[in-house]
Amino acid sequence: METHELHRGRLIDHLQLVVRDLDASRRFYQAVLDVLGVPIGGEGEDWFWADELFVSSTGSEAALGRPTGRHHLAFQARDRAAVDAFHRAALAAGGRDNGAPGERPYHPGYYAAFVLDPDGNNIEAVYHGPAERSADSVRVSFAD
């Protein structure tokens, strides 16, 4: 995997999921990432990656023969329609419903859907609503 760009100020550099059935996971993640506009960045015999997500089989060198535990991942969606499309694509690609698209009480405008991937990870797509600009809402960037 080649890193094309370094992003300072992000908490997560990458996340690895070790899965039991790489083909099933590849079909699932390809489907949901396609509707979110995120391409698969690369793949090999026992792994693939997209953006900050790295998925490998239990047989990969980095896996030590064990799948990772259950995780919750939330992907950003560009709008509500993308959340809806994510949910449909995930179910069609072998995911199990874990929360239909809809508003959530986390903050006003939080619109999300949840599915379980083939390994039982809770995968979410979320749209936070239109960006608001106010004195109380400031984006902070960290200097290199």
Residues paired with residue 72 on neighbouring β-strands, in sequence order: 122
Res. 139: pLDDT tops 60: no
For residue 143, the model assigns a pLDDT of: 45
| 13, 48, 73, 140 from 5: Cα distances, Å | 11, 18, 22, 19
Whole-angstrom distance, CA of residue 59 vs CA of residue 22: 10
At 64, the pLDDT band (50, 70, 90 cuts) reads confident
Q: What domains, with CATH codes, occur in the chain?
A: 15-58+73-127 (3.10.180.10)
| 50, 52, 80 from 41: Cα distances, Å | 5, 10, 25
User: Tens digits of per-residue pLDDT, 19-55?
Assistant: 999 999 999 999 999 999 999 999 999 999 999 999 9
* Residue range 52-81: mean pLDDT, rounded: 92
At 119, the pLDDT band (50, 70, 90 cuts) reads very high
> What pTM value is reported for the model?
0.82
